[in-house]
Amino acid sequence: MANEKTLTVGAATPAERLAEVRRAGALPQLRYLFRSMRPRQWTKNGIVFLALVFSVGQEYHLSDASTWVPKALEVLVAFVCFAMVSSAEYLVNDIRDVEADRAHPKKCYRPIAAGLLPARTAWSAAIVLAAAGNAAAFALNWHMGLVILGYSLLMLAYTYELKHIVLIDLMVIAAGFVLRAMAGALAIDAPISPWLYVVTALGALFLGINKRRAELELLEAGAGSHRRILEEYTIPMLDQMGSIVTGALLIAYGLYTFTAEGLPANHSMMLTIPFVLYGIFRYLYLVNVKKEGGSPEEVLLKDLPIMATAIAWVTTAGIILLFARA
């Protein structure tokens, strides 16, 4: 069987590579299909666990497995549902943008653009994933099902039209993260502070703005030919937007820590602010100095200081809430 190096390097054109993959059998196609589903992007769906973390000691108690295990499983199902429907969206996006991706210095290596995965196979997988994800969501909780259905339709609209509308593209990305947080709360029927929705939206805008900035720097004068919406942005504009969103994000999270209902009366949640502050500054450093902001999920998975900060934030917040509500 041909290996991946032979398939990607040994043929000159996408059509020739696709023919070679088909001759190699089903296994290479499955491997390229899985890559096209972008499993690294599933880290974004971790937002669904917010409600579970912040309801510790209120909706469940760690000392009683019968209270938290069912809820953890329900949130895990929500995570899997979002993984399926988001992967379906990535497949549809790659099919639709195949020509633009072939002209991109990095996206040209995506399996569909490179001719390693047939569009028909990708379409079939996208339909199955979207149907399975939505069906599982409705089976768990019809409220959560409606949220994931709304997310699916919003992302479909984003793929076909909304990502080409300046500013709306960033707003839709933020809305997708808010829907994830909402689904996590609905999955376990837990209340969640409106402040966390605000923080989630601002955090998503922060990542989206910096991703656009990194793309402009990478592609320079040819940015518009690779991604049409980039013609509508400039680096100074994105820097101004980033400054506004960063300030708003820090203020919103600070207000959450000492005004949200259900938090410790001694305002000890403010101890988590330094982690958020450092995480934001570290990410800005990686974007502006190391030029690594084009793929937020890779930054979050590869940068050890950011990973350590995220773990420290979750651990500290969990301990504070656990002891405050004991």
Which two tokens mark 220? Answer: 């320079």
User: Which pLDDT value is given to residue 8?
Assistant: 45
pTM over 0.75: yes
| HSE value, Cβ hemisphere, 13 Å, CA-based, for 234 | 3
Least-confidence region, from 166-170, 195-199, 238-242, 292-296: 292-296
Q: For the chain, give the mean pLDDT.
A: 86
For 18-55, what is each residue's pLDDT tens digit? 666 665 556 778 889 999 999 989 999 999 998 888 88
Q: Is 60 helix (H, G, I), strand (E, B) or coil?
A: strand
Residue type, 151: Y
Higher pLDDT, 266 or 75: 75
The sign of the CA dihedral 91, 95, 100, 104 is positive
Angle at 300 between CA 305 and CA 82, to 5 degrees: 145
User: Which pLDDT value is given to residue 25?
Assistant: 57
Least-confidence region, from 78-82, 188-192, 234-238: 188-192
Is pLDDT of 3 > 70?
no
CATH number of 1-192: 1.10.357.140
User: Which pLDDT value is given to residue 137?
Assistant: 95
User: Which pLDDT value is given to residue 223?
Assistant: 55
Task: Say what angle helices 142-160 and 65-96 make with each other, to 10 degrees.
Answer: 20
